Chain A
Amino acid sequence: MRLTLLSLCAALCLCLALAPARAESLAQIAAAHAAAIEKPSRTTIGPVIDALAASGDPMAAPFLQAWGSKGLGRRKSDGAFFLLAPDPAGYALTDLTGAPAGTSATSEITELKPNAGVRGLIASALVAFTLSDPDPARRAAALESIAADPKAESLDPLRAAVETEPDPVLKARKLRLERLLTLRFDPDSAARVAAIEGFGADAGLDLRAALSPLVATKRAAGPIPPEGANVARTLTPGGDISEAEAYAVLVDAGLAPARLRPEDQKTALAAHIAEGKVGGVPVADLSSQAARDRAYTALEQAGTVPTAATDDEVTAALAANPVYEIYAEPDPAVTAAATRALHEIGLKVGAMQAVDLGLDALSLASIYFLAAIGLAITFGVMGVINMAHGEFITMGAYTGYVVQLWVPDLTLSILIALPLAFALTFGAGVAIERLVIRHLYKRPLETLLATFGISIALQQIFKNIFGTQARPLTAPAWLDGAWVVNDVIGISYIRIAIFVLALLFLGFFLWLMKRTRLGLEVRAVTQNPAMAASMGINPDRINMLTFGIGSGIAGIAGVAIGLFAKVTSELGSDYIVQSFMTVVVGGVGNIWGTLAGATMIGTLQKLIEFLNPSNTLAAQTYMILFIILFIQVRPRGIIALKGRAAGD
């Protein structure tokens, strides 16, 4: 009720602002302006709409709506107005108090069909009504429709509707929209500049959308700038603008004749072949541009082809007619303010893009870290190179896929898949260590070869079982979506989850190596197996377990990577080179080095992608080149252990 009252008040205010008229009922107005309503024109319609707006009648809005959408009719018998709705009998009528008034045959009704100009006036009058509608949802919808299609006509009704808005959220939106419309459409230049400056360094998309048309430019040419034009700058041909483009502007402006295109020249020459010669030049000689020009000039002199601009004429025309960039917006104060504001916004957006890039880099770094941490154990700590590491990642991802086939609940399936993937790849790792790697501990190159063989075989086995097409590994619903700070900064929840997982693994690794008996024994065996053995440690068992754990972690990483990457048999091999690079760049045998390596590679790759956004392949190429060069500078990696160089 209060809302209704308030909206009535709003309507009253509106009518006070627009037309100081006395409140009347809709029926009275319709009767008074019957002729104007029936045959509306842009010039006569004004008072009617003003009166309707002032009436405060709840049926005024539906009346306008019906009128604007050609749903209003007049009964031929008595001249009464009705809102029409299609009906089997013809039309279902609603009278001007909103009560149904039976049906009528189509022949008894004259449908009112206002022209487009009138409908535009009606629509903007309607905006005023919906902006003050009692229903907040409709008010919000009206705001959205204005924001989507800003028009000068919306400004006045919007201003009128600001003060009476009871909802503080909607009021803020109305105020903001009012400022946005002001800066574009207010007739007063000072008010527009004030509106622009009032936003400060606000970086909202709507503000940018409102400002950019103000600084839109078009090109014009002539000896002097056009009268009253707001010139942005004068373009130098060959510098700001290519000569061909500048000349095209001149041609478009009718200031110079069009240049002769080679194809046109060729066509013209071909059309004037006479006795094996064109313009005195033998046809066989026309295989060079100079000869063709000679022939064409001869034809020009003979008057058989139209004159075309020569290079000298082009230069002269360009010198005589500078090309200008002219703002579509005529007011220089406004364009200057808008340029300033856009510059500030640009700075701020740039800063936010840097933050967003940082988040992207962090997320990529955690993916690399996750893929590499298993290697940090097998390769970094044990010094065993395992080229089948990528296949363990794939195995983990396929485990997740198979679990999801059996367990439909996504959250539960991931919770089952993680330990299961660990168990499976742990088992596979132990098996490979026992069967193959154990025999090759002193022959690192042959370990590399043998694990390559395993990798080839495993990859083909995956292909045989799961096919070559990508298999879905779906993330639970709570991992869908993204954490959005504003329209620039945002990161998907999956990436946050992977970051957290990477941190967990880092913690697990540190705990395992520094706080457990196993970690102590692993360190002892890697430093001096013989001494460790004489201290009662079984090196065989330790090597087996360490290799198993490294492989198991790769399996878990596979589940995580499978959540956002395509699960194919090649999933792991896509990561294998990067993973080795991460470990090598970071420095072998040191988990912090792996972390630093992952961070560096992730950041670098995102940075290159940012500089060359069209091409992620190039980013990877340059990153690998950088790593190769980096190894030259620091062969032991970022964090080097004493006494261990690349190759030891």
Chain B
Amino acid sequence: MTALSSVDKYPGGEPSGPPPVRGSGGEGAEPPGSAALAPRSFLARNPSVFWFLAILIGFTALVTVLSPALGAEVISTSFIKTLGKTLCLCLVALAMDVVWGYTGILSLGHMAFFALGGYMIGQWLMYARTEEIVLTSLAGTPIPPTAAEVAQGVATQIFGVVGSSEMPAIWSFAHSLPAQLALVVLVPGLLAFLFGWLAFRSRVTGVYLSILTQAMTLALSLYLFQNDSGLRGNNGLSGLQNLPGAAQIGQDRLSLWFFWASAAALALTYLLLAWALSGKFGSVLRAIRDDEARVRFLGYPVEAYKIFVFTGTAVLCGLAGALYYPQAGIINPAELAPIASIYLAVWVAIGGRGRLYGAVLGAVFVSLLSSWFTGGRAPSIPLGFYTVNWVDWWQVLLGLAFVLVTLFAPKGLGGLVDMAQKIRTPDRKGAPLGPDDGALQEREAQE
């Protein structure tokens, strides 16, 4: 039984036209009865999108009111930054959910695209900021500086730490914000396209693809760790929290602006993805996840779909990175170590893959919980003979939780929503759920 055929089971059905092939993860939570309501706007058909946007807007408004920029000293600037960064991570988790939860490609490289986006915006932030400093210091000399002298000064400032004073070729566009913004999209996009084209064309799937993406991530991070990679080796790029030309604007306001930008990006992306996935496109993706060969036999260009999704989500990750790192202030190659992409998979798995709000839920829940535990705020548990210190044991807990979720709760936290709505997965007596097994076939699950 496939998701496609489950459309017939709609109470009320559709009056005419092509069957409304729908059923994103978000809709999985939708009670069947609501499908009969007419006329139905997009939001009405997708109550999860409505609730998500409502909660996000409310949350943003709340944070804004409580922020120090407006005089209320309830939450600190650094906490606003943490919240803004978390929203960016939700954005990445959304991308991961589309590529993994919906299309069934377990990519272990999307955090690399995220970091690449951060590097690209970081180049401009660092260059422009350093140029300001150099110009200020040269302003005192009797002879005005030439452009070459300024460039030389910037290069020495930026690359002195890796023992070089030459601007590498990859910094050619660093002086221009539009160029670097284009690179934020182009670099992860092209890399993902090239990789996807190579991998999907030769029909590398399943765990092999996962390992290959992990190898790509490892290669990229090893490359960036070198001093002559041109991106300052393991020093990375720093001072990114200072916007060039905005020195007089305090960090309290900047952090709020970035928080708004992150929230807006998340809302827009969520809407866009929910809309795209609720249509035919989404159905094809889920079909590829559930039985790739059958979709191919039906005449769909499976590889093109996969490359599109892989590249599109990589671009999304790049954009999220470009929003994240100005809030983080520093980026270095450790950010794109393979483990980061694994954590991304952990968030989505714990939140519940195959539904957009699950990814967001997982990212928020795990990353905030993680910072609570590793921040030393969680109370230690004295066992008499040994004290469980959560700074040390949090990762063990996370790893084991991950195993347990994989084994017993493949729906993750999203399963709780199902439970609240009294949707039960049919007891299949141990038989797998579908060809790709991890797949949730939502309509069927409601029977």
**Using a CB–CB distance below 8 Å, which chain A residues touch chain B?**
262, 266, 269-270, 273, 278, 283-284, 286-289, 292, 385, 436, 439-440, 442-450, 452-461, 463-464, 573, 577, 580-581, 584, 615, 617-618, 620-621, 624-625, 627-629, 631-632, 635, 645-647
Residues of A within 8 A of B199 (CB): 628, 631-632
- A450→B402 contact, CB < 8 A: yes
Min CB distance, A147 to chain B, in Å? 38
In Å, the complex CA distance between A144 and B216 comes to: 54
How many whole Å from A618's CB to the nearest CB in chain B? Answer: 6
Contact indicator B392/A577 (Cβ below 8 Å): no
- Which A-chain residue is minimally distant from B345 (CB atoms)? A449
> Does any Cβ of A come within 8 Å of B212's Cβ?
yes
- The distance in angstroms between the C-alpha atoms of A443 and B432, with both chains bound, is 8
Q: Which residues of B201-218 are within 8 A (CB) of A?
A: 201-212, 214-216, 218
Please, which residue of chain A has its CB at the minimum distance from the CB of B342? Answer: A452
Partner of B396, one of A266, A286, A460, A628: A460
Is B222 an interface residue, CB under 8 A from the partner? yes
For A292, the chain B residues whose CB sits under 8 A away are 143, 146
Nearest CB of chain A from residue B423's CB, rounded to whole Å? 21
Contacts of A577 in B (CB 8 A): 211, 214-215, 218, 338
Contact call A443/B438, Cβ cutoff below 8 A: yes
Inter-chain CA distance A289–B146, complex, in Å, is 7
Of chain A, the residue at the smallest CB distance from B398 is: A456
Residue of B nearest to A464 (CB): B392
**Chain B 338-354 near chain A by CB (<8 Å), digits 1 or 0:** 11001001100100000
Q: Are A457 and B396 also in contact (CB < 8 A) when A287-B147, A450-B403, A584-B208 are?
A: yes
Residues of B within 8 A of A461 (CB): 396
A580 contacts which chain B residues (CB < 8 A)? 211, 215
- Per-residue CB proximity of B226-246 to A under 8 Å, as 1/0? 101000000000000000000
A273, A453, A458: residue with the most chain B Cβ atoms closer than 10 Å:
A453
Nearest-neighbour CB distance to chain A for B347, whole angstroms, equals 12
Please state if B437 and A273 are interface contacts (CB–CB under 8 Å).
no
Instruction: Give B142's nearest chain A residue, CB to CB.
Output: A270
Interface residue B299 (Cβ < 8 Å from any Cβ of A):
no
Residues of B within 8 A of A287 (CB): 144-147
CB distance from A529 to the nearest CB of B (A): 15
Cβ–Cβ < 8 Å partners of B392 in chain A: 460, 463-464
> In this assembly, does B223 line the interface, its C-beta being within 8 Å of a C-beta of chain A?
yes
Cβ contacts under 8 Å, A456 to chain B: 339, 342, 346, 395-396, 398-399, 402
> Quick one: which of A273, A439, A453, A625 contacts B142, CB cutoff 8 A?
A273
> A284 contacts which chain B residues (CB < 8 A)?
144
| Residue pair A286, B144 in contact (C-beta under 8 Å) | yes
A440-B407, A450-B402, A631-B204 known; A289 vs B143 contact (CB < 8 Å): no
**B400 contacts the other chain (CB 8 A):** yes
Bitwise, B358-399 to A at CB < 8 A (1) or not (0) is 000000000000000000000000000000000011111111
Contacts of B211 in A (CB 8 A): 385, 577, 580-581, 584
| Cβ contact of A452, chosen from B143, B147, B148, B345, cutoff 8 A | B345
Give the chain A neighbours of B436 by CB distance below 8 A.
445
The CA-CA distance from A458 to B402 in the complex, in Å, is 13
Say if the beta carbon of B225 comes within 8 Å of chain A: yes
If A456-B342, A621-B223, A629-B198 touch, whether A286 touches B402 (CB-CB below 8 Å) is no
Interface string of B124-148 (1 = CB under 8 A from A): 0000000000000000011111111
Given contacts A445-B436, A577-B218, 7 further A-B contacts (CB under 8 A): A446-B410, A458-B399, A459-B395, A577-B214, A580-B215, A618-B223, A625-B219
Nearest CB to that of B410 among chain A residues? A446
Q: In the bound complex, how far is the Cα of B203 from the Cα of A385, in angstroms?
A: 19
Contacts A440-B407, A448-B207, A584-B208; A286 near B342 (Cβ below 8 A): no
> Are B395 and A460 neighbours in the complex by a CB distance under 8 Å?
yes
Interface bits B70-81 vs A (CB < 8 Å: 1, else 0): 000000000000
A598 and B106 alpha carbons, distance in the complex (Å): 26
Asked whether any CB of chain A lies closer than 8 Å to the CB of B60, the reply is: no
Tell me the residues in window 388-447 of chain B with beta carbons closer than 8 Å to chain A beta carbons: 392-403, 406-407, 410, 432, 436-438
Q: Do residues B143 and A269 form an inter-chain contact, with CB atoms below 8 A?
A: yes
Q: Are A624 and B219 interface neighbours, CB within 8 A?
A: yes
Instruction: Name A648's closest neighbour in chain B (CB-CB).
Output: B206
Give the CA-CA distance A439 to B437 in the complex, in Å: 12
Determine whether the beta carbon of B407 is less than 8 Å from that of A581: no
Q: Are B395 and A457 in contact (CB under 8 A)?
A: yes
Q: Is the interface of B mostly helix, strand, loop or mixed?
A: helix
Most A CB atoms within 10 A — which of B201, B342, B393, B432?
B342
A-B contact list, 16 entries, CB within 8 Å: A283-B144, A289-B146, A436-B407, A445-B104, A448-B106, A448-B207, A449-B349, A450-B407, A452-B402, A453-B406, A457-B400, A461-B396, A631-B199, A635-B202, A635-B203, A647-B206
Q: Contact check: which of B146, B195, B219 meets A288 at CB < 8 Å? A: B146
A286 near B219 with CB under 8 A, answer no
* Chain A residues in 8 Å Cβ range of B342: 452, 456
B403 and A436 form a contact (CB under 8 A): yes
Most chain A CB atoms below 10 A, which of B219, B339, B349, B437? B219
Across-interface contacts of B393 in A (CB, < 8 A): 460, 464
- Which residue of A262, A584, A631, A647 contacts B205 across the interface (Cβ within 8 Å)? A647
- In the complex the two chains form, is A455's CB within 8 Å of B210's CB? no
B437 and A446 contact, CB distance less than 8 A: yes
Given B207, B215, B220, B410, which contacts A627 in the complex, CB threshold below 8 Å? B215
| Measured CA separation A457–B392 after assembly (Å) | 11
Cα distance A331–B62 in the bound complex, in angstroms:
89
Nearest to A295 among chain B residues (CB) is B143
Within 8 Å CB of A446, what residues of B? Answer: 406, 410, 437-438
B338 to chain A, nearest CB (A): 7
Across the interface, do A647 and B208 meet the contact criterion of CB distance under 8 Å? yes
Q: Is the CB of A628 within 8 A of B208?
A: no
Contacts of B223 in A (CB 8 A): 617-618, 621
Q: What residues of A have a CB within 8 angstroms of the CB of B338 in the complex?
A: 577
- A455, B399: Cβ atoms closer than 8 Å: yes
Contacts of B220 in A (CB 8 A): 621
Complex Cα gap A417–B29 (Å): 54
B148 surroundings in chain A (CB, below 8 A): 289
Closest B residue by C-beta to A623: B219
**Does the CB pair A631–B202 fall under 8 Å?**
yes
Q: Shortest distance in angstroms between A279's beta carbon and chain B's nearest beta carbon? A: 12
> Which residues in A have their C-beta under 8 angstroms from that of B149?
262
**Given A457-B395, A457-B399, A625-B219, is A442 in contact with B144 using a C-beta cutoff of 8 Å?**
no
Asked if residues A443 and B437 are in contact (CB atoms below 8 Å), the reply is yes
Which A residues touch B206, using CB under 8 A? Answer: 444-445, 647
* B-chain residues with CB within 8 Å of residue A618 when the two chains form the complex: 222-223, 226
Bound-complex Cα distance A239 to B215 (A):
42
Contacts of B216 in A (CB 8 A): 624, 628
Instruction: Chain A residues near B208: list those with CB within 8 A.
Output: 584, 631, 646-647
Nearest CB in chain A: distance from B102 CB, A: 14
In the complex, chain A residues whose CB is within 8 Å of the CB of B410: 446
A273 to B106, alpha carbons, bound, how many Å? 68
Bound: A280/B148 CA distance, A: 23
Q: Is the CB of B395 within 8 A of A615?
A: no
Of chain B, the residue at the smallest CB distance from A627 is: B215
Pick from A270, A278, A443: contact of B141, CB under 8 Å: A270
Alpha-carbon separation in the docked complex, A287 to B149 (Å): 9
Q: Which residues of A contact B399 (CB under 8 A)?
A: 452-458, 460
In the complex, what residues of A have CB within 8 A of residue B209's CB? 647
The residue of chain B having its C-beta at the shortest distance from the C-beta of A383 within the complex is B207
Q: Which of B204, B208, B398 has the most CB of A within 10 A?
A: B208
Across-interface contacts of B215 in A (CB, < 8 A):
577, 580-581, 624, 627-628
Name the residue on A nearest B223 (C-beta): A621
List chain A residues, Cβ under 8 A from B144.
Answer: 283-284, 286-287
Q: A647 near B219 (CB under 8 angstroms)?
A: no
Residues on the B chain within 8 Å of A459, using CB? 395
A475 CB → nearest B CB, Å: 28
Report the bound CA distance from A577 to B342 in whole Å: 13
